[in-house]
Amino acid sequence: MLVLSRKRDERILIGDSIVVTIVDIRGDKVRIGIEAPSDVAVHREEVLLALQQHAAQAAAAQNSSPAKPNNP
């Protein structure tokens, strides 16, 4: 893992198309802005994990529901 120190309004460039800007620093919280192409997904880890868990639960519920018989 690369660890960098940045001050407010400084940026980190990732490749040619992603820019991470330090927007604000207050106490132990850092606000960052991320500029990335629309085809690059950017998620907070806890949100992505919750989405994945929800999708897994929905798939499990669908797989465990009894099959409906075909009545012509």
More confident residue, 71 or 13: 13
Answer whether residue 33 is part of any domain: yes
Structurally, the chain folds into a number of domains equal to 1
Q: What distance in Å separates the CA atoms of residue 59 and residue 65, rounded to the nearest whole number?
A: 10
Question: In the prediction, which pLDDT does 64 show?
Answer: 80
Question: In the prediction, which pLDDT does 71 show?
Answer: 65
Answer whether residue 63 is part of any domain: no
Give tens-digit pLDDT for 13-64.
999 999 999 999 999 999 999 999 999 999 999 999 999 999 999 988 888 8
Answer whether residue 26 is part of any domain: yes
Q: How many residues does the chain have?
A: 72
Question: In the prediction, which pLDDT does 30 show?
Answer: 96
Answer whether residue 22 is part of any domain: yes
Number of alpha helices (DSSP H) and beta strands (DSSP E) in the chain: 1, 3
Answer whether residue 66 is part of any domain: no
Answer whether residue 30 is part of any domain: yes
Answer whether residue 45 is part of any domain: no
Q: What distance in Å separates the CA atoms of residue 69 and residue 46, rounded to the nearest whole number?
A: 40
Residue 22, Cβ neighbours under 10 Å: how many?
18
The domain in which residue 26 lies consists of: 1-37
Long-range pairs for 27-33: beta carbons < 8 A, 24 or more residues apart: none
pTM comes to 0.71
Answer whether residue 44 is part of any domain: no
